Amino acid sequence: MELALSLGDNTKKQFSFLEMNSKINNPSASSTSTSDKDLGFCMGLDVAFGGHKSLSSSSSPSVEDEKKKPVPRAKLSDGIRVSSPVDPPLQLQLHFPNWLPENSPQGGRTLSGAAMVAEEEEEEEEAVPSMSVSPPDSVTSSFQLDFGIKSYGYERRSNKRDIDDEVERSASRASNEDNDEENGSTRKKLRLSKDQSAFLEDSFKEHSTLNPKQKIALAKQLNLRPRQVEVWFQNRRARTKLKQTEVDCEYLKRCCESLTEENRRLQKEVKELRTLKTSTPFYMQLPATTLTMCPSCERVATSAAQPATSAAHNLGLSTSSLIPVKPRPAKQVS
DNA sequence: TGTTTTCTTTCAGTTACATCA
DNA sequence: GTTGATGTAACTGAAAGAAAA
């Protein structure tokens, strides 16, 4: 059995970044509305939870795809623009997002492909003010803080994750110029600020998954790396699922207890009825030819069962096998 | 048109670090 | 100051799907 989770209206397609940003700029507006209790969890059974790509429409062009093939891709996602057949191969100047140090040695690096497209899209969009929510002395994420990106020695160097890592390592090297204690052998854990977390929570309420464009835009607004936003959403989905699983387990546990109790009660009743049946004379066990109604509870029973059920009533026992009918004067019915 | 390859995205599981009692 | 528990950012490998070859 799979569990369902509803996190609001998935039909909405766009983040309301500006609105959320205004919330960020006005801290008194939100931060209490981001707890899980406000997420509007809904529980259901027999409905698939998530699933691969079930919530995502992201089949967008990747950096490598566009690097390798400047020809257009067949499908687009959520407004991601790719070059048309008449577009020349892209060879654009990379505009580093503001989560990179300004003095990055990578500045001016030239790339082509979807990353460029994405960056261009970013530039084309209205200038969304980037978020600077961390206090100056905060230990939270800002690319100016130390980045201890562990060198994991990836085998493949072609997927997007690796590219992100490469960018991060580049940034880390740049950052290390100002931070001598970083030796690259340990990974530093950066904690997001409350505002950043609240902003991400708001985003998560709208979409539990992000397409690349949304991810980049969100990262830009929060002064985070896209990879951080991606990881945050992954972990957030995992937490949501875990929490929902706990709720479902509690519900099923209660159901099980209730059914166990009901079963126990019915077993007891059957046992009592059998005891009564064996103790009644044979002539009272003849097959029913008429229906009789119990005067006390106004339920109808067959005449064969009636003596036993009446006795059961007299004993104060429940008789779930009786058929409830609308109230009538106690009399025989043919 | 069908098959294989390549790549991306997501998830489940895990690790590592920060924080708190 | 130390230690264990807890929360969570970050990482890894596998699976699934889409697009290209």
Q: Closest nucleotide to residue A151 (Cα to C1')?
A: C11
Rounded distance between C-alpha atoms, residue A50 and residue A56, angstroms:
10
Going by pLDDT thresholds of 50, 70 and 90, the confidence category of residue A194 is: confident
User: Which pair of tokens denotes residue A165?
Assistant: 């890592």
- CB A157 within 7 Å, strand C: no
Q: Are residues A221 and A293 in the same domain?
A: no
- CB A69 within 7 Å, strand B: no
CA of A191 to C1' of C3 (A): 22
Q: What is the pLDDT of residues A130-152, one digit of tens each?
A: 444 333 333 333 333 333 333 33
Q: Closest nucleotide to residue A55 (Cα to C1')?
A: B10
A139 lies in some domain: no
| Mean pLDDT, residues A280-309 | 55
A305 lies in some domain: yes
- Among A44, A40, A331, residue whose Cα is nearest residue A206: A40
Residue A92 backbone dihedrals phi, psi, to 5 degrees: -115, 160
| Mean of per-residue pLDDT scores for chain A | 54
| Mean pLDDT, residues A278-295 | 61
For nucleotide C16, the protein residue with its alpha carbon nearest to C1' is A52
Would the pLDDT of A250 be above 50? yes
Q: Closest nucleotide to residue A187 (Cα to C1')?
A: B16
Highest mean pLDDT among A106-115, A217-226, A274-283: A217-226
Q: Are residues A50 and A109 in the same domain?
A: yes
Would the pLDDT of A182 be above 60? no
Number of domains in chain A: 2
Pick the last residue of a domain from A248, A278, A311.
Answer: A248
Q: Are residues A238 and A333 in the same domain?
A: no
**Do residues A282 and A322 make contact, with C-beta atoms less than 8 angstroms apart?**
no
Highest mean pLDDT among A26-30, A136-140, A215-219: A215-219
A102 lies in some domain: yes
A100 lies in some domain: yes
Q: Are residues A334 and A224 in the same domain?
A: no
A160 lies in some domain: no
pLDDT at A249: 85
Q: Are residues A237 and A293 in the same domain?
A: no
For nucleotide C9, the protein residue with its alpha carbon nearest to C1' is A189
pLDDT at A238: 93
Note the strand C nucleotides within 7 A of protein beta carbons. 7-12, 15-21
- Among A106, A168, A109, residue whose Cα is nearest residue A143: A168
- CB A197 within 7 Å, strand B: no
Looking at per-residue pLDDT, the higher value among A226 and A323 belongs to: A226
A146 lies in some domain: no
pLDDT at A314: 43
Rounded distance between C-alpha atoms, residue A76 and residue A79, angstroms:
7
A59 lies in some domain: yes
- CB A328 within 7 Å, strand B: no
pLDDT at A263: 97
pLDDT at A277: 84
Rounded distance between C-alpha atoms, residue A195 and residue A204, angstroms:
14
For nucleotide C18, the protein residue with its alpha carbon nearest to C1' is A59
Q: Are residues A98 and A197 in the same domain?
A: yes
Going by pLDDT thresholds of 50, 70 and 90, the confidence category of residue A286 is: low
- CB A330 within 7 Å, strand C: no
Going by pLDDT thresholds of 50, 70 and 90, the confidence category of residue A58 is: very low
- For residue A195, the one-letter residue type is D
Q: Are residues A221 and A329 in the same domain?
A: no
pLDDT at A332: 39
| Mean pLDDT, residues A72-95 | 32
pLDDT at A246: 86
pLDDT at A283: 59
Would the pLDDT of A221 be above 80? yes
Terminal-residue alpha carbon distance, chain A? 49
pLDDT at A166: 54
A278 lies in some domain: no
Q: Are residues A92 and A25 in the same domain?
A: yes
Residue A65 backbone dihedrals phi, psi, to 5 degrees: -55, -45
- CB A158 within 7 Å, strand B: yes
| Mean pLDDT, residues A187-213 | 87
Q: Are residues A61 and A113 in the same domain?
A: yes
Rounded distance between C-alpha atoms, residue A136 and residue A129, angstroms:
18
Rounded distance between C-alpha atoms, residue A136 and residue A63, angstroms:
34
Domain around A72: 3-131+193-248
Q: Are residues A216 and A298 in the same domain?
A: no
Would the pLDDT of A272 be above 90? yes
- CB A138 within 7 Å, strand B: no
Highest mean pLDDT among A184-188, A194-198, A306-310: A194-198
Q: Are residues A70 and A24 in the same domain?
A: yes
Q: Are residues A334 and A198 in the same domain?
A: no
pLDDT at A265: 96
User: Which pair of tokens denotes residue A327?
Assistant: 């109230």
User: Which pair of tokens denotes residue A45?
Assistant: 């059974």
